A and B are shown apart, each in its own frame.
Chain A
Amino acid sequence: MSTNIKPENRRLLEAVEYIDENIVLGVLSELRMPKEKHTDPVMTWRTPLKHWKSIAALAACVILLAFASPMASFISQVVSNFTSVAGGNAGAGTSELEMPTTAESEVIDSPYERSIYAYPEGMSAEEIYADVLKGGWVVNTDYEIVGGEKLWEDFLSKADNKTEASVLIASYYEESESIFLHSVSYDIEVYNCDRRYICQPENEDRISSFSAKYLVCHDMTSLTYAEKRNWDPPVKFVWFLTDYPEIPFIEQLITLDSDYNEFLIDNYPTWWSLIWLK
């Protein structure tokens, strides 16, 4: 970010000051009270240090427990699972759900806070699609970013086994309806949902009326919903991103910011990479 703004460009920012007051007031009247939290950006980093004694005591307890109890084997198993999957060998999907269960009220919608697994580089789009369909993986297209209908059309046309599923798209954005209507002819069962849709009671009938083979989850809340429904097969959570050759796709996720969405929107892909998120 530049630290100096040209005088003439500052005047453009002044344009925001002239937005119709009714628009502004309308928005302000709907503001929800923020949660009380420490707002001083300068002081925030010091806050954890105030509790160093508690943190040290907690760390000591964890270490003691880890060595002195059967939990040691559990922890080592978890670590082992983590490191083996993170090694990148995400070929044919496993059938075992490895996601931790999350309380329904806890919403995590930040993919780069989770572990990231990736297909080995060099795998073709066709190979990836075939693996997705046979392995019970789910696909989150976030299609409104990458040019939705075209992406789904291309993806579905490459699917090896169309008899396995039919497509249902249920999403926050209105344009998803056109994708749904377009895709049912492909007879591929993928259920795409984000938490705003999946957690609304009025959509329960529509959701339960489809025996989707795959569930697309945008976030942990919808994943938790799927777990509680005992969805078969167990679901996983995948981002379906564009491939931008100059930037490895792992870095695309790690450096997610406003620029990420902009280049996704502006650079329609010729082929796609799939990334598992766990």
Chain B
Amino acid sequence: MDDRKIIELFMARNEEAIRETEKKYGGLCRTIAGNILAVREDIEECVNDVMLGLWNAIPPDRPEDLKAYIARSVRNRAHDISREANAWKRGGRVQIVGDEFLSMLDDGTDLAAGYEARRAGEIISRVLEAVNKNDKKIFVLRYWLGMSIEQIAEQMRSGESRIKVSLHRTRKKIAEELRKEGITV
């Protein structure tokens, strides 16, 4: 079903909206949630929460891009569940992605909470705007969405080595920019 029709169902408070959303985007939701959460029950809980969240948010929200809206919701909810369940200690892909990202900086990196993170976020955004479209996409899929190299390669219809090279280059550029801006490395 077309996204516009699904949104119209939400606006009309027709429960068919949930069924159609689950049918169309259920797989995507589980994949995104599965990148962050390690346990099946948590993944299902996440997807269910997002479906409920959509029902509560639309209306008044009327997303222009339903897929992006859902993907972002799933990702954010999965991270919430992950934090709630203290998944950092239990493991999971988020930790692996984090370690990989952090490896570009020395262990001495120290960021003041909040402000430095926002500054760093702006710098990362600036770098991403400057790199080519594919490199930008690969970086976001890996570090924002938490996708595996294999999943990104499938998304990009590319080899895994290409993905790894792209990530390495982008990480290097970001590390350089962070250093220029005085973020301790």
Instruction: Say yes or no: is A247 at the interface (Cβ < 8 Å to chain B).
Output: no
Instruction: Say yes or no: is A42 at the interface (Cβ < 8 Å to chain B).
Output: yes
Of B4-12, B13-21, B52-60, B65-73, the one with at least 4 CB within 8 A of chain A? B65-73
Inter-subunit contact A12/B89 (CB<8 Å): no
Inter-subunit contact A23/B121 (CB<8 Å): no
Question: With a CB–CB cut-off of 8 A, which chain B residues contact A265?
Answer: 165, 168
Question: With a CB–CB cut-off of 8 A, which chain A residues contact B95?
Answer: 1, 3, 5
Instruction: Say yes or no: is A32 at the interface (Cβ < 8 Å to chain B).
Output: yes
Inter-subunit contact A24/B144 (CB<8 Å): yes
Inter-subunit contact A11/B165 (CB<8 Å): no
Instruction: Select one of B99, B112, B120 contacting A5, CB under 8 A.
Output: B99
Within 8 A of B (CB), among A261-278: 261-262, 265
Instruction: Say yes or no: is B160 at the interface (Cβ < 8 Å to chain A).
Output: yes
Bound-state CA distance A96–B91 (Å) is 48
Instruction: Select one of A14, A16, A42 contacting B38, CB under 8 A.
Output: A42
Inter-subunit contact B122/A8 (CB<8 Å): no
Inter-subunit contact B144/A16 (CB<8 Å): yes
Inter-subunit contact A20/B125 (CB<8 Å): yes
Query: Per-position contact with B for A239-274: 1 when CB-CB < 8 Å, else 0?
Result: 000000000000000001010111001000000000
Inter-subunit contact A9/B153 (CB<8 Å): no
Instruction: Say yes or no: is B179 at the interface (Cβ < 8 Å to chain A).
Output: no
Name the CB-closest residue of A to B150: A110
Inter-subunit contact B67/A196 (CB<8 Å): no
Q: DSSP class of B's interface residues: helix, strand, loop or mixed?
A: helix
Of A33-41, A87-95, A121-129, the one with at least 4 CB within 8 A of chain B? A33-41
Instruction: Given the known inter-chain contacts A40-B43, A142-B161, please indicate yes or no for A33 contacting B27, CB distance below 8 A.
Output: yes
Q: Closest CB of chain B to A124's CB: distance in Å?
A: 27
Instruction: Select one of B98, B110, B121, B164 contacting A18, CB under 8 A.
Output: B121
Instruction: Select one of A25, A194, A196 contacting B65, CB under 8 A.
Output: A25
Tell me the count of chain B residues lying within 8 A, CB to CB, of chain A: 65
Inter-subunit contact A19/B121 (CB<8 Å): yes
Inter-subunit contact A39/B144 (CB<8 Å): no
Instruction: Given the known inter-chain contacts A28-B67, A33-B28, please indicate yes or no for A43 contacting B40, CB distance below 8 A.
Output: yes
Among the interface residues B72, B116, B120, which one has the most CB atoms of the partner chain A within 10 A? Answer: B120
Instruction: Say yes or no: is B85 at the interface (Cβ < 8 Å to chain A).
Output: no
Query: Per-position contact with A for B23-47: 1 when CB-CB < 8 Å, else 0?
Result: 0000110110010001110010000
Instruction: Select one of B100, B111, B158, B159 contacting A12, CB under 8 A.
Output: B111
Bound-state CA distance A218–B40 (Å) is 37
Q: Closest CB of chain A to B80's CB: distance in Å?
A: 12
Bound-state CA distance A128–B175 (Å) is 38
Instruction: Given the known inter-chain contacts A40-B40, A172-B162, A261-B165, please indicate yes or no for A13 contacting B91, CB distance below 8 A.
Output: no
Bound-state CA distance A108–B91 (Å) is 30
Instruction: Say yes or no: is B81 at the interface (Cβ < 8 Å to chain A).
Output: no
Q: Closest CB of chain B to A170's CB: distance in Å?
A: 15
Instruction: Given the known inter-chain contacts A16-B144, A265-B165, please indicate yes or no for A31 contacting B28, CB distance below 8 A.
Output: yes
Within 8 A of B (CB), among A149-165: none
Inter-subunit contact A144/B89 (CB<8 Å): no
Name the CB-closest residue of A to B155: A32
Q: Closest CB of chain B to A26's CB: distance in Å?
A: 8
Bound-state CA distance A40–B43 (Å) is 9
Query: Per-position contact with A for B125-155: 1 when CB-CB < 8 Å, else 0?
Result: 1001100000011001101110001010111
Inter-subunit contact B38/A41 (CB<8 Å): yes
Instruction: Given the known inter-chain contacts A17-B121, A27-B137, please indicate yes or no for A11 contacting B72, CB distance below 8 A.
Output: no
Q: Write the residues of chain A forming the contact surface with B, with a CB cutoff of 8 angstroms.
A: 1-6, 8-20, 23-25, 27-36, 39-43, 109-110, 142, 144-145, 172, 194, 196, 218-219, 256, 258, 260-262, 265
**4 nearest interchain CB pairs?**
A18-B121, A15-B120, A28-B68, A109-B159
14 new A-B pairs (CB below 8 Å) besides A12-B117, A24-B72, A27-B140? A11-B113, A15-B121, A15-B124, A16-B143, A17-B121, A18-B124, A25-B65, A25-B72, A34-B151, A34-B155, A36-B27, A109-B161, A145-B161, A265-B168
